[in-house]
């Protein structure tokens, strides 16, 4: 089974969206992992309305850390 790492930044709506993404990806044979280095697919779900959330996700996308 393929591994999915999903990180959520932002509001409650982002949390809901991430849960839906995880469900949909599960139907495509992905299982969630807490370790980014083992993931086959990495998704950073952020909110562009909340500047701090967007800054966090932008920084995270380039650092390669958990």
Q: pLDDT tens-digit profile of 1-59?
A: 999 999 998 788 889 999 999 999 999 999 999 999 999 999 999 877 766 666 776 77
Range of the structural domain that residue 55 is part of? 2-63
0.75 exceeded by pTM: no
The total number of structural domains in the chain stands at 1
> What per-residue confidence (pLDDT) applies to 37?
96
CA–CA gap between residue 17 and residue 30 (Å, rounded): 16
SS3 59: helix
Please tell me the distance from the alpha carbon of residue 41 to that of residue 37, in angstroms, as a whole number: 10
């Amino acid at each position: 089974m393929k591994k999915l790492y999903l990180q959520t930044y932002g509001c409650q709506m982002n949390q809901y969206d991430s849960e839906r993404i995880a469900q949909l990806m599960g139907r495509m044979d992905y299982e969630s992992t807490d370790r980014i280095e083992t993931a086959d697919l990495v998704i950073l779900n952020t909110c562009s309305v909340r500047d701090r959330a967007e800054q966090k996700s932008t920084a995270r996308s380039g650092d390669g850390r958990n």
